[in-house]
Amino acid sequence: MQTTLNNPVALCHSPPAWTDKLVASREKLAKLRAEFLTSAGSCLTIIFSLIFPGKTIIMTIPEIMAELTPYTGRFPRAAMAAAIEQREAITPELLRVVEAVAADPVEYAKREDDMLLVFALFLLAHFRETRAYAPIIKMMSAPGEIPELLVGDTITQDLSRILASVYDGNPAPLRSLAEHADVDEFVCGAAIETFVVLAHTGRMPRDEVVAYFRALYREKLRRTEAFIVIWDALTGCVLDLPAPELLPEVRQAYADGLVDPYFEDLENIERDLSPESLREPKQFTLITDAIAETEWWAAFDPQEPWAGDNPLEPVIPATELEPPWLDPVIDVPPEPFRREPKIGRNEPCPCGSGKKYKKCCGQG
């Protein structure tokens, strides 16, 4: 049987050589399209919307993942919007990312300029994806600075709200994270704060949170100054809940030197938790818009002097920096106060005008 265009059966069974070239060309075109979207997705979206108003570019899941991975200094709005639009299709891929990091957080922490994990956390929180709860807690349980290397300032800024957004109803893993002796102290603090978010959003009864906080004060947290940051976080959460019934435990923690007095003065706490001063607390919320939560970051603002810096790069602790007051350039010791001699109103004005002071600079 000849392989010709006039014989479709033959073409189906034995395609000619030119079809291989066509397939290769299509694959190359698809690859180029993916690379272009990765490097200039936002620009393409703007141009496309101007030419075809009301229409949108349909990005594939691999294209979205590729766009969300590198830190380029610009916010990947098109990819984030496409991810939200294709929630069902992309959720398994985002879960695979989180689970892979949880399985080997040390190895993943070695990657530089990789934003995929952070975007995945916010998207899964936006989706209320409870399957992300366990792997997120697992990765945050990594020892030392690993969690900070993974997600940077997200720990102190949004981790509590992310955990509350994916909470699956089981508080045991969250409690374990809060009480873990080897976990980063700021991660522990975020885990404690998660209980406040759960109470404020109706996902956990307030009485249950108060009971757990009381247990932390009385037995579950180590009563040592090494945990002072965690004790500070717990005390802050008592104010944020608020829980005036825990004031006796707060007083005891201060008496035992477990709370940093510079964190908050006990007298202020007593005043703020008193019935007379008790006011509507700051309301914590869940993640409802992954784009709004991340697009404002300074790392994506070209007007900021640090735009282009990796937002996940850990901040150097203040203790490792030379205190600014020791800088000989900026540290000019202030002159001691000396009261200037009083100028009589009829004396010559010190400005040198030749007029009397009362007729010159002394008129004001």
pLDDT tens digit sequence for 188-215: 999 999 999 999 999 999 999 999 999 9
Sign of torsion over alpha carbons 192, 195, 196, 201: positive
User: Where do we find the tokens 């004396």?
Assistant: 347
pLDDT at 315: 41
pLDDT tens digit sequence for 149-171: 999 999 999 999 999 999 999 99
> How many Cβ atoms from other residues are within 10 Å of residue 5's Cβ?
9
- Listed in sequence order, the DSSP H helices in the chain are 8-13, 17-51, 61-68, 77-85, 87-103, 105-108, 116-126, 133-140, 146-151, 154-157, 159-166, 172-179, 185-200, 206-215, 228-240, 247-255, 266-272, 290-294
CB 161, CB 284: distance < 8 Å:
yes
pLDDT tens digit sequence for 278-321: 766 678 999 999 999 999 998 898 776 655 566 665 444 444 44
Local mean pLDDT, 10-residue blocks, the chain (364 residues): 39 42 50 50 55 69 97 95 97 98 96 95 98 98 95 96 98 97 94 98 97 97 90 96 96 95 90 81 90 94 64 48 45 39 54 55 56
Name the nearest CA neighbour of 79 among 20, 123, 110, 134.
Answer: 123
Measured distance CA(64)–CA(92) in Å, rounded: 13
Measured distance CA(97)–CA(117) in Å, rounded: 7
CB 311, CB 152: distance < 8 Å:
yes
Tell me which H or E stretch contains 319.
none
CB 117, CB 108: distance < 8 Å:
yes
Q: Could you say which DSSP state residue 218 is in?
A: I
| Close Cβ partners of 288 (under 8 Å, ≥ 6 residues apart) | 126
Q: Could you say which DSSP state residue 303 is in?
A: T
